[in-house]
Amino acid sequence: MPEPDVARVRRWCAARVPEHALHQVRIECDATPRHLTIVERRAPWRADLGPDWTTLPVARLRYTATDRTWTLYWRDRNLRFHRYDQLAASPQVDDLLAEIEHDPTAIFWG
């Protein structure tokens, strides 16, 4: 994956939550060799659930090296990812980030 794109996604995630709320919620990017997963992390809110932050995937951005494009995926209630068919694959990761932010179908942020 192109490092400038990975850095761009990480910056985008970091800018989603105001500084005064970071003790409660964070938007972060988990990277693997083939894709980036944007996740929402929430602070522990019940003692019986333990001290760990909870993590819920929001979207997945998959990079295809052969044609140098990014494809957007959405997560269903069973935590499975499906191709988001409202946006074609794009060489610009910013196109995918804009779609997630705008969220015209309310599939990413609800």
Identify the pLDDT of residue 95: 98
Phi, psi of 19 (to 5 degrees): -55, -35
Question: Is residue 64's pLDDT more than 80?
Answer: yes
Spell out where 15-109 has E strands. Answer: 25-31, 35-42, 54-64, 69-75, 81-83
Mean pLDDT to the nearest integer, 70-76: 97
Q: Where are the domains of the chain?
A: 3-102
Q: Convert the pLDDT of each residue in 85-101 to its tens digit.
A: 999 999 999 999 999 99
Residue 19 CA to residue 62 CA, distance in Å, equals 29
Q: Convert the pLDDT of each residue in 20-63 to its tens digit.
A: 999 999 999 999 999 999 999 999 877 777 778 889 999 999 99
Identify the pLDDT of residue 47: 73
Residue 1 CA to residue 11 CA, distance in Å, equals 16
